[in-house]
């Protein structure tokens, strides 16, 4: 199964993606974690040190040129070997294997055409989501621009994450609608970081699939540590992830 995490900035997409992958690996599933965000934080959230992160594919000019050609752009580049070649293993409590692929985002900074890089990124992402029969967790960039047809087509489920605010819910609704229009109807809406004492019954009735509190264990830890897994609240997190997976399957 393939699941993508979308939502506006800072709502917890990366955190939820890392929790999901960690849960699946403890259930014995092998998971590909795909960081398709510019911030490149999924690896560190999952437990890698900064120095252990793979170089984003987008910066691999050598590979881009090798696969896409320097002149006329190759339309169907060979990418089958790239997941194994580019991925970095994430240590975890297993028994499933977690592997991280870092895509990066295409920018035109510095001028010139980024079409080759863009083409290779798209080809690799669609290879992973369309042709591999494995668990894939994709951490998308904030907003909706990333929800291209190519990404969405092969994904089996979309988790839209929002903070507990009306504005957040409105943004989540537009992301959901956009994904629907692209044909991705299997969606779950997660209200994340609900402050203590705030009642969520009203929004649960409005189609929110799951509400997660703001976990003190994570708030305490994050000043010194980028990891979001292995928290004291693991039981509550696992219960939430289980619920999410059941909703999407």
Ligand X SMILES: Nc1ncnc2c1ncn2[C@@H]1O[C@H](COP(=O)(O)OP(=O)(O)OP(=O)(O)O)[C@@H](O)[C@H]1O
Residue 209 binds Mg ion (CB under 5 A)? no
Contacted entry of Mg ion, ligand X, none for residue 214, CB cut-off 5 to 8 Å set by kind: ligand X
Strand ranges across the sheet with 135-140? 88-90, 98-102, 31-36, 135-140, 2-7, 157-163, 187-194, 210-213
**Residue 193 sits in the site that holds ligand X (CB under 6 A):** yes
Would you say 17 or 63 has its CB closer to Mg ion?
17
Q: Please report, for residues 71, 137, 138, 144, 196, the alpha-carbon distance to residue 119 in angstroms, rounded to integers and kept in the order given.
A: 13, 21, 18, 19, 45
For Mg ion, give the closer residue by CB, 187 or 192.
Answer: 192
Any contact of residue 222 with ligand X (CB under 6 A)? yes
Stretch near ligand X under the rule CB under 6 A, chosen from 7-15, 105-113, 164-172, 181-189:
7-15
- Say if residues 210 and 200 touch (Cβ distance below 8 Å): no
Which residue in the set 3, 6, 12, 188 belongs to the binding site for ligand X (CB under 6 A)? 12
What residues from 146 to 175 belong to the interface with ligand X (CB under 6 A)?
none
Q: Of the two residues 150 and 217, which places its CB atom closer to ligand X in the complex?
A: 217
Which window, 13-21, 52-60, 88-96, 232-240, contacts Mg ion (CB under 5 A)?
Answer: 13-21
Q: What span, in angstroms and rounded, lies between the C-alpha atoms of 116 and 64? A: 6
The phi and psi torsions of 154 (rounded to 5 degrees) equal -95, 0
- Is 14 among the residues that bind Mg ion (CB under 5 A)? yes
Q: Give the end-to-end CA distance of the chain in Å, rounded to a whole number.
A: 8
Nearest to 57 by CA among 89, 23, 34: 34
Binding residue for ligand X, selected from 82, 228, 241, 245, defined by CB under 6 A: 228
Rg (CA), the chain: 18
Binding residues with Mg ion: total (CB under 5 A): 2
Nearest Cα residue to 41 out of 17, 57, 25, 23: 17
Binding residues for Mg ion, rule: CB under 5 A, are 13-14
Chain residues that interact with ligand X, rule: CB under 6 A: 7, 9-15, 37, 39, 41, 142, 192-193, 212, 214-215, 218-219, 222, 228
């Amino acid at each position: 199964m393939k699941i993508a995490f979308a939502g506006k900035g800072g709502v917890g997409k990366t955190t939820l993606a890392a929790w999901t992958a960690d849960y699946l690996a403890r259930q014995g599933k092998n998971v590909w974690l795909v960081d398709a965000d510019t911030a490149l934080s999924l690896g560190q959230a999952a437990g890698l040190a900064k120095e252990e992160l793979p170089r984003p594919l987008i910066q691999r000019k050598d590979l881009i040129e090798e696969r896409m050609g320097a002149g006329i752009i190759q339309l169907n580049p060979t990418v089958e070997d790239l997941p194994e070649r580019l991925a970095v293993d994430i240590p975890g409590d297993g028994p499933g294997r977690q592997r991280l692929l870092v895509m990066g985002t295409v920018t035109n900074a510095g001028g010139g055409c980024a079409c080759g890089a863009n083409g290779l990124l798209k080809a690799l992402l669609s290879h992973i989501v369309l042709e591999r029969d494995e668990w894939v967790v994709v951490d998308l960039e904030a907003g909706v621009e990333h929800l291209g047809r190519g990404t969405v087509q092969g994904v089996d489920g979309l988790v839209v994450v929002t903070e507990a605010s009306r504005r957040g819910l409105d943004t989540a609704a537009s992301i959901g609608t956009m994904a629907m229009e692209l044909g991705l109807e299997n969606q779950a809406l997660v209200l994340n970081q609900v402050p203590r004492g705030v009642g969520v019954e009203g929004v649960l009735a409005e189609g929110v699939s799951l509400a997660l509190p703001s976990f003190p264990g994570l708030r305490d830890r994050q000043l010194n540590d980028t990891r979001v897994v292995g928290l004291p609240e693991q039981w509550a997190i696992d219960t939430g992830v289980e619920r999410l997976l059941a909703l999407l399957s």
